[in-house]
Amino acid sequence: MRLYELCSRHVEDMMDTQEPSKPRPPIHYLSCIFTIILDWIWFLAELIQPFSMESVSRILVIIAGVFMTCVLAVAAVQRYSARDRWKSSLLKGAIMGLAACVPYPVVGTFVGVVLLATARIYWKTPSEEEEGE
């Protein structure tokens, strides 16, 4: 038997025994958690500075700070934990940053919780692993 035939049979056997891989969640669960945490941390800064016409420049600085910290945190998680490409990581970071920079923790928390729930669908708990065996 040739080496090529032996290798091709081995590869075919491996492909038959492997389970189909689950699709990845749209965003890593740590990115969702970071978005929720950053949304609430920056909310404390928003509480100190109430909305008024005199404080528009301060609110804009807070909004920019929320956006930048969320973009950097989510992009880093997506790049190094989820192994996304930089373009995809930065795009996901920008979307989560836009959700988090809306004043008051409503949109960022809502988006983070919804995406965290969708990421949970892809997790496999130990009890589910035991049932499969």
Residues 23-54: b if buried by 16+ CB within 10 A, e if exposed: eebebbbbbbbbbbbbbeebbeebeeeeeeee
Q: What is the pLDDT of residues 75-116, one digit of tens each?
A: 999 999 999 999 999 999 999 999 999 988 899 999 999 999
* Dihedral (Cα; 108, 113, 114, 116), 10-degree rounding: 120
Q: Can you give the pLDDT at residue 85?
A: 94
Q: Can you give the pLDDT at residue 95?
A: 96
Q: Can you give the pLDDT at residue 67?
A: 96
Longest Cα–Cα distance in the chain: 84
Q: What is the pLDDT of residues 10-36, one digit of tens each?
A: 555 555 444 556 677 889 999 999 999
Q: What is the pLDDT of residues 42-71, one digit of tens each?
A: 888 888 876 666 778 888 888 999 999 999
* pTM exceeds 0.85 for this model: no
Q: Can you give the pLDDT at residue 6?
A: 52
Q: Can you give the pLDDT at residue 18?
A: 47
Around Cβ 80, how many Cβ atoms within 10 Å?
A: 12
